[in-house]
Amino acid sequence: MPKRSNEPVFWALFGAGGVVAAFVLPALIVVTGLAAPLGLPSPGVLSYERVSAFAASLPGAAFLFVVISLSLWHGFHRIYHSLHELGVHRGLSVVRVLCYGTALAGTALTAYLLVTAI
Amino acid sequence: MAVRRPYVRPMAGWWRRNPFYIFYMLREATSVFVALYALQLLYGLYTLAVGEAAFDAWLVSLRHPLFLVFHGVALAAALLHAFTWFNVAPKAMPVLYLGSHRVADRTLVWAQYLIFAVISVAILGVVLGG
Amino acid sequence: MATHDEIEIEVLRYHPETDSEPSYRTYRVPFAHETSVLQGLQYIKDRLDGSLTFRWSCRMAICGSCGMMINGVPNLTCSAFLREYHPGKLRIEPLAHLPIERDLAVDQTDFLEKLASIQPYIIPAESKAVDEGPFTQTPAQRERFYQYSECINCLLCYAACPQYGLDSGFLGPAALALLHRYNSDSRDVGKADRMPIVNAQEGVWACTLVGYCSEVCPKGVDPASAVNRNKVISTLDYFFRFMAPRGASE
Ligand code: SF4
Ligand code: FES
C-alpha cells in the first residue's frame, strides 16, 4: 500500500495562507509600505500609540497573528516547491527544514510578541 | 526484431519552454514577496515590543527609497498572487449546487473579486480614513 | 481549395537501433485548407520517408493516439491544421515528458500501469447478474462525474505536466481524473480502495496546480480540478481519519 503523505499539514497551512494573502496583503502593503512612509493622507497613520493599541486588542492581535504566520507558511511552502522545480536536489531536505523552520519560528515569535503585548 | 531503447529527454530549463510555464513561475515567485513582507511586518511588531524609539526608527527606515521600491514590487506581487489565486480556487473547491444548478466557476471567481474589493476598501478606509 | 502552398515541417527523429539521441529532420509538405497536421505527417511517410513512425487511428479526435508536440504545445495532430501555422513552420516532437520509443511514438507503459492501478471501472456494492437489470442513477448523480469520463487517454495532459516530467512517479492528471470519475459515481463503492493512492506523495501531493493539463485537454476534462478537489478530500481524510466510523473503510 502506498505510504500516506504528511503534505496535508503543510498544504492546509499553505492554502489558508494563500487565501489570507490574496484578500488582505494588497491593501495592507499599501498601508504599511507606501501610505505610511509617504505620510499619506496624514503623517500619523502608523503612530506608535495607534499601532500598539491595535496590537494589544484581541481582534487586532488575532489579525496580525493570522496575517503574519499564515503568510509565512504560504510563502515558504511555495518557495520550497519552486526550488525543487528549479532542479535543486542536493540538500533539498536541508532547504525543507530551513523553509518550514523559518515559518515555524516566525509563527512562534509572532505569537510571543502578541501575547506579551496584550 | 526492433531494438528497444526508450529515450528520456532532459528537463533542465523546462520552465522556459512555454509561456504558460513562465507565467506559472512568475505566480510561484510571488511567494518570495509574500514571505519577505510577512518577515518585514514581524520585524515591525518586534520593534513595537521593544519600545517607541525602536518603532519610530523602523517607520523612518520604511521611507528609504529601497524600501519603497520593495513595497511597490511586493504590492504588484500580492496583486498577481490574488488574481491567480482567485482564478484557480474553484478548481479546489467542492462543487457547489444552487438547487439543481451547478454554480459556474466564473461566478465563484467574481464572488472572490467582490469580497476582495470589500475587504480592501474596508482596510484602506479604516486605517487611512479614521 | 487547391493545393499550392507548401509548409516546412521539422520532425524529431529517433531510431533506437542507429541513433544515439534524437535529432531534427526537415521536410517540405504541400497542403490545402483542410490538410491536418496528421495528414502532413502521412504525406511525409507516403512520399518522402517511409521510415517515419507515428501513431494514429480515428482521425477524428476520439481515439487519443495521435497526440504530439506541435511547436512545443501538446495537441492532437488530427484536429490541428497546417494552415494554422502557415506562413510559419512546424516543429513536431513526440509528447513531452514521456520516453521516446521511436520517432514520434512514445512509450505509454507507465501510464497504462497507472491507469490499471486506480481500478478504472465501477466497483458495485453487490454484483448483479445481467438479467437483474442495470444499475440506475439520476441525471444529477451522473452530472457529478460525467465530465471526467470524457477522457480519451491521449496523454496530452502528461505532456503538459512539468511535475510528471520532473518525477514520473506522480500518478498524473488523467489517471487522477479517472480515479475521481469512479469515486464520484453513485454506483461505485471503491473509494476506500482508491484513497491510499490519492493520499500518497505520488498521488495528489506531487501536484502544484500548474494547471496546464486542463488547458491542453482536447475533451474539456479539467484534470486539475479532479486533482485539487482530491487534495481537499485527502486533507480531510488526513485530519479526520481517526474520527471516521469504524468499518467505514475495508
Ligand atoms: S484528461 Fe484530457 S488530456 Fe488527459 S489523457 Fe484524458 S483526454 Fe487526454
Ligand atoms: S487519430 Fe484518433 S485522436 Fe487523432
CATH number of the domain that residue B65 is part of: 1.20.1300.10
Are B87 and B126 in a shared domain?
A: no
Contact yes or no for A45 and B29 at CB 8 A: no
Q: From first to last of its 250 residues, what are the pLDDT tens digits of chain C?
A: 455 699 999 999 999 999 999 999 999 999 999 999 999 999 999 999 999 999 999 999 999 999 999 999 999 999 999 999 999 999 999 999 999 999 999 999 999 999 999 999 999 999 889 999 999 999 989 999 999 999 999 999 999 999 999 999 999 999 999 999 999 999 999 999 999 999 999 999 999 999 999 999 999 999 999 999 999 999 999 999 887 665 444 4
In angstroms, the separation between the Cα of residue A78 and the nearest Cα of chain C is: 9
Are C236 and C117 in a shared domain?
A: yes
Best residue among C62, C108, C156 to mutate for probing ligand 2, ranked by most atoms within 8 Å of CB: C62
Lowest-confidence range among A32-46, B83-97, C148-162? Answer: A32-46
Task: With respect to residue B47, please indicate whether it lies within any of the assigned structural domains.
Answer: yes
Q: For chain B, what is the radius of gyration of the CA atoms?
A: 22
Q: In sequence order, what are the beta bridge partners of C100?
A: B7, C106
What is this model's ipTM?
A: 0.95
pTM of the model: 0.94
**Residues B77, B33 contacting (CB under 8 angstroms):** yes
According to the model, what pLDDT value does residue B12 have? 93
**Residues C31, C86 contacting (CB under 8 angstroms):** yes
CA triple C168-C122-C125, angle to 5 deg = 130
Are C62 and C129 in a shared domain?
A: no
According to the model, what pLDDT value does residue C249 have? 46
Within an 8 Å CB–CB cutoff, is residue B9 touching chain C? Answer: yes
Domains along chain A? 9-117 (1.20.1300.10)
Interface size, chain A vs chain C, as Cβ–Cβ contacts under 8 Å: 38
Cα(C31)–Cα(C42) distance, integer angstroms: 12
Task: With respect to residue C79, please indicate whether it lies within any of the assigned structural domains.
Answer: yes
Mean pLDDT confidence for B38-61: 96
Element (H, E) at C111: helix C109-117
Contact yes or no for C205 and A11 at CB 8 A: yes
Contact yes or no for C96 and B20 at CB 8 A: no
Are C91 and C117 in a shared domain?
A: no
Within an 8 Å CB–CB cutoff, is residue C73 touching chain B? Answer: yes
According to DSSP, residue A32 is labeled I
Are B46 and B101 in a shared domain?
A: no
Expressed in angstroms and rounded, the spacing between residue C111 Cα and the centre of ligand 1 is 12
Lowest-confidence range among A45-49, A56-60, C233-237, C241-245? Answer: C241-245
* Helix, strand or coil, per DSSP, at residue C88: coil
In angstroms, the separation between the Cα of residue B20 and the nearest Cα of chain A is: 15
Give residue A113's identity as a one-letter amino acid code: L
Give residue C155's identity as a one-letter amino acid code: L
| B129: containing domain | 94-130
Are B98 and B77 in a shared domain?
A: no
